[in-house]
Structure 1
Amino acid sequence: MFIHDLNCDWMSHPFLRNRFVVAHESEIRKIAESGIHEVYIDTSKGLDVVHAPTLQEVKAQLESEMREIGVEAAPASEKRATATEEFGRARMVHEEAHQIIHGILHDVRLGKQVDLELVTPSVEKMTSSILRNDGALLALCRIKDKDNYTFQHSVSVGALMVTFCNAMNMGKEVIHQAGIGGMLHDIGKMKIPDAILNKPDRLTEREFAVMKCHVVESKAILSQARGITQTSITVAAQHHERHDGSGYPEGLKGHEISQLGQMAAIVDVYDALTSDRCYHKGMPPTDALRKIYEWSKFHFNPDLVQAFMRTIGIYPVGTLVRLESGRLGVVVEQNEKNLVSPKVKVFFSLKSNAHIPPEIVDLSRSMGHGGADKIVRHESPEKLRLDPLKFI
């Protein structure tokens, strides 16, 4: 058979390629030992399985289930500002956090200890922005360039952990410590050789084994930091553990992994999937959520995955969407009672192929009340050469 997709995130398998012909029994064993339970096969290049569902059937089923989750009540959150009002402040918070984490990781590479006094104010500002409106900062966190991925990913995971913990109604101190752990979760990568860390291609099996050591290194570095809490260390130490025991470094399973560790695993993979890398094109957020939901049968806590989806929305703020009316718009606010019907700022007509006066459309409303439209699908900003954040 020809494997088209190993159906797991790239840091969970040691194969040089995602697509290859299975030629030996040893390859099947290797796939199973990597914690992979299901794969997609290309029947035009290899044998078929008569009873297996097609890609279209699987995708339709997953999207139907996600929509059912989306119409369930989301956690109530009191937003103090709209995404538009918060966007300018969030941009400053995001830029400052990136500069701070860049400096901290650089110092660790030089053998210095982590200075928590630099991280704490950044997490506090991040938390304040998220409490005002989480959509603005999270939309900015999806903007990354390949050369600064490690630094930007660290900030994004910190912001996502704060948002997730807040939605789960955790205490203020836990939220703060989880944010610190999120920002510093990959600090051990500064101990990985540059040739491996910055390799512009898939890692070999040996290189993959070295890269996996970054989790142990992160725990060791943070354990030596003055003032660090066990909560923050746990987030960093467990973000690559998996619900079925197939993760690393300890192979913990189920409730052996702390709740924060399980949450960190979800947000780490979500941000990685939505980011461009030299060897990996980032997915739109909605597609990434669908993959994580699919993998939650084995790799993640299903209840926490659904809670995460309700936290950021099926179509997160900043997502470019096509409406049934033939208009393009950007999601600017979630409808917490129905996540598949957010508020959208429309700005372009596909029928006339022209920009139109920007207008907020509340998709949860009916005809005559500013609604009576719905999302057909999300669109790629790159393909349409549009920057949806300009319209928030």
Structure 2
Amino acid sequence: MFKRISVQHLATGMYIYEMCGPWMSHPFWRRAFLLTSLADLQRLRQSPVTEVWIDTRRGKDIPPDVPCVVWDPQKGSPQAVPVAPPPQPQASINTTPATLGKELNQAIALCEQSREAMLDMFSEARMGSAISMDMAETLVNEITGSVLRNPDALLSVARLKTADNYTYMHSVAVSGLMVALARNLGMDEAQARRAGLAGLLHDLGKARMDPAILNKPGKLNDAEFAHMQGHPRASYEMLLGSEGIDEAVLDACLHHHERMDGRGYPDGLAGENISLLARMTAICDVYDAITSDRPYKKGWPPSVSLKRMAEWTDTHLDKRLFETFVRTVGIYPVGSLVRLQSGRLAVVSEPSTKSLTAPRVVAFYCTKSEKLLNPQLLDLAQTRQDRIVAQEDPANWPFTNLDSLWHKGAAATA
């Protein structure tokens, strides 16, 4: 069945059968294709094309309350379908809870789309173009939907970034962490999306920083560090003229490097003088930064990172918010290497909803015999035969397949 809809109701996953208007009015060389890229969606919305025909047999359908014209070739001419007024954009977000295994593939695809969208956004920022809030809000809606369905899928996948795409994927990861933290703080969906937007845009000012300094594979000298300290204000100034930008989001972009003891930058704010959204962004920003591989250092394991961050509360980070953040990502975040009482090593594949200390794990190595084992999925909340006795630093072991192990373990729970 074919449906003619406004481009404002398009979403990734829909199959575009035809674009209404002259072929030269749209930015694509194809007239029919599966819409998979958020960047392509934004390009289409900014083109002169206002309506498209979608083929619901080859892609996602629209929600039932979206206005459209329906055409079934077997039943004659196109017919307008009377519907109620369209809902607010956020109402279309699918937030139905999903297992980690079920959400994982969607999260992988979303991360790839997000990387392309952020690459475009940073490119526009470097050229001095106005930042499109439509693209950012569309991306945040997708991130929010994934996190609300299952936070561990997107947060785990977004952590697996490379040095080449760090700047772009860091923004996506912080956005997802912000949404998850907001929900654990009791914020509603609209507030969670605002938090996600702050996370997505907080480092946009790095587009104006010297690339040689931004990507330097070593410690910055004083002059280089002073240069990088300009990125929060650059983010603020770049976004200040954007239509519809939230003041709280602007403030978080400007002040996410402030510290609780007043020794941060750019304004030396302290304690409660730092906004809630900025204090949240500081925590999520630090966590993703120190767990990620960078040109000058290898990322710390998630569990080690949480221990280090706990030492920085009250001086750098808000202690109360950090306690909620730990509950958000779990004591043993997905991908953590742990030692079991049985002497086996295991990688965490999914947190437990019943116990922070008893996640699902994939056991794969025996420390007693020093031999690899056939990977075994264990739900530690359901068994009394084994438990976690210690966290392990992967750097102390010659394993290179931990990520593939937890992926397989997660997929087994779908």
- Preserved CA contact (<8 Å) 1:84 1:332: no
> In the comparison of the two structures, how many residue pairs are matched?
312
Following TM superposition, by how much is the alpha carbon of 1:357 offset from its aligned partner in structure 2, in angstroms? 4.5
- Indicate the residue corresponding to 1:164 in structure 2: 181
Does the alignment pair 1:239 with 2:256? Answer: yes
- Preserved CA contact (<8 Å) 2:249 2:277: no
- Preserved CA contact (<8 Å) 2:260 2:314: no
Following TM superposition, by how much is the alpha carbon of 1:355 offset from its aligned partner in structure 2, in angstroms? 4.8
1:356/1:103 Cα in 2 relative to 1: closer, same or farther (>3 Å)?
same
The CA RMSD over aligned residues, in Å, is 2.0
Following TM superposition, by how much is the alpha carbon of 1:235 offset from its aligned partner in structure 2, in angstroms? 2.0
Specify which of 383, 386, 392 is matched with residue 398 of structure 2.
Answer: 383
Does the alignment pair 1:176 with 2:193? Answer: yes
Identify which range, 320-329 or 264-273, moves more after superposition. 320-329
- Indicate the residue corresponding to 2:387 in structure 1: 373
Does the alignment pair 1:122 with 2:136? Answer: no
- Indicate the residue corresponding to 1:214 in structure 2: 231
Question: What letter corresponds to residue 99 of structure 2 in structure 1?
Answer: T
- Indicate the residue corresponding to 1:38 in structure 2: none
- Preserved CA contact (<8 Å) 1:218 1:236: yes
- Indicate the residue corresponding to 2:298 in structure 1: 281
- Preserved CA contact (<8 Å) 1:316 1:331: yes
Rg larger for: 2
Cα deviation code 1:253-312 (max 9, x no counterpart): 100011111111111111111111122221001111111101103111111111100110
CA distance in structure 2 between the aligned counterparts of 1:390 and 1:206, rounded to whole angstroms: 42
Unpaired stretches in structure 1, ≥5 consecutive residues: 1-77
- Indicate the residue corresponding to 2:68 in structure 1: none
CA distance in structure 2 between the aligned counterparts of 1:354 and 1:83, rounded to whole angstroms: 29
Cα deviation code 1:205-244 (max 9, x no counterpart): 1111111011111011111112211122122112101111
> SS of 2:238's equivalent?
helix
CA distance in structure 2 between the aligned counterparts of 1:328 and 1:170, rounded to whole angstroms: 37
Percent of aligned pairs with the same amino acid: 39
Map 1:224-373 to 2 at 5 A.
Answer: 224-367=241-384, 371-373=385-387
Q: Compute the TM-score of the two structures, normalised by the length of structure 1.
A: 0.75
Specify which of 151, 158, 171 is matched with residue 154 of structure 1.
Answer: 171
Unpaired stretches in structure 2, ≥5 consecutive residues: 1-94
CA distance in structure 2 between the aligned counterparts of 1:272 and 1:170, rounded to whole angstroms: 25
Question: What letter corresponds to residue 296 of structure 1 in structure 2?
Answer: T
- Preserved CA contact (<8 Å) 1:174 1:231: no
> SS of 2:262's equivalent?
coil
Higher RCO (C-alpha under 8 Å, 6+ residues apart) = 1
> SS of 1:359's equivalent?
strand
CA distance in structure 1 between the aligned counterparts of 2:228 and 2:342, rounded to whole angstroms: 48
Following TM superposition, by how much is the alpha carbon of 1:338 offset from its aligned partner in structure 2, in angstroms? 3.1
Cα deviation code 1:337-382 (max 9, x no counterpart): 5312212132444445555454332223453xxx432242234177
Following TM superposition, by how much is the alpha carbon of 1:316 offset from its aligned partner in structure 2, in angstroms? 0.6
1:375/1:94 Cα in 2 relative to 1: closer, same or farther (>3 Å)?
farther
